[in-house]
Amino acid sequence: MTRHLLEIDDLDPTRVERLIGRALAWKADPASVPRPLAGQGVALVFEKPSTRTRSSSEMAVVTLGGHPIYIRPDEIGLDVRESVEDVARTLAGYCSVIAARTFAHGTLERMVSVVDVPVVNLLSDLAHPCQALADLITLRAHFGAIEGRRLAYLGDGTNVAASLAFACAFTGMEFAIASPAGYELPDDIADRVRDLGGTVEQFSDPFDAARDADALYTDVWTSMGQEAEQAQRRAAFVGYTIDHALLGAALPDAVFLHCLPAHRGEEVAADVIDGSRSLVWPQAANRMDAMRALLVDLLEENA
């Protein structure tokens, strides 16, 4: 059976550990990066905009010796020009991996159901596993051992929050989350994370979640596709801006993380994201290292 990556729990703790190790080793010594994709293509299908995911994926594929094929949202027309299944079957004829950013998570599952090349989730409504892998690499590079550390996520219970919760479970980190009513992490995701042995502590007061945290993390309040709800969301999230007061509630050496794009003055204060405890630029750079290690893992697992 082909192994895919739709959410972090498609991996296991051993694979995650190996992936972090390789990503950091290859980052430190680019000459040691293998070229298992030589002569092969990787399809990068996007239904939504992207800065980091598209660029980091393209460079990961190139440095592994392969050819990335970026497919724009307007040219692919999933289920408009032809069905998701027909697009996936066609791309699998040319490419060793299909990676896709979709509105509905179910679109990725439909791809998985018809191809025998690995499918990688580049962000769906439910998950953003490639981001979470980069986040783990960032925390490991900064702290060394991360087992037992506490990550507090403040804000909307998004795709990014969900994948982070799984990532913490697989690395022995505590996961705490504070969200306003109606914007919590979905219960079924919290249950799945707990079933894997992870912790999910849920709060409504962001100061309660931030207490004793090693890292504070946030994501936008209005995700792609939710633009019509922006005013309502801005009102609901008042008090959740990560500013110096909230950062001060965490441990003295706590760091700040954000998947980006960021909205200064909304989910994060400018002097926090641009301050000395922010790791957002190495975090963004680590997207490429994460993707490289992930692609090699999937190629090996499916060999």
The reply to whether 130 belongs to the active site is no
Q: Which amino acid is at 38?
A: A
DSSP 186: P
DSSP 253: T
Phi, psi of 42 (to 5 degrees): -125, 120
Closest distance of CB 147 from ligand CP, Å = 25
158 binds, options ligand CP, ligand NVA, none, Cβ within 5 to 8 A by partner type: ligand NVA
Closest distance of CB 29 from ligand NVA, Å = 29
Q: Which of 128, 162, 138, 137 is nearest to 50 (CA)?
A: 128
Q: Which amino acid is at 237?
A: F
Q: How far apart are CA 121 and CA 9, in angstroms?
A: 12
The reply to whether 74 belongs to the active site is no
Residue 160 within binding range of ligand NVA, rule CB under 6 A: yes
The one among 40, 45, 53, 125 contacting ligand CP by CB under 6 A: 53
Closest CB to ligand NVA among residues 18, 48? 48
138 binds, options ligand CP, ligand NVA, none, Cβ within 5 to 8 A by partner type: none
Name the catalytic one among 156, 233, 259, 292: 259
| 278 Cβ contact list (under 8 Å, min separation 6) | 255, 256, 258, 272
The one among 136, 242, 259, 288 contacting ligand CP by CB under 6 A: 259
Residue 220 within binding range of ligand NVA, rule CB under 6 A: yes
51 binds, options ligand CP, ligand NVA, none, Cβ within 5 to 8 A by partner type: ligand CP
Q: How far apart are CA 298 and CA 124, in angstroms?
A: 19
Closest distance of CB 71 from ligand NVA, Å = 19
Locate all alpha helices (DSSP H) within 10-158, ordered by sequence: 13-28, 52-63, 73-76, 84-92, 105-114, 129-143
The reply to whether 244 belongs to the active site is no
The reply to whether 128 belongs to the active site is yes
Q: Residue 114 is encoded by which pair of tokens?
A: 């018809």
Q: Which residues bind ligand CP (CB under 6 A)?
A: 50-53, 123, 131, 259-261
Residues that are catalytic: 101, 128, 131, 219, 259, 287
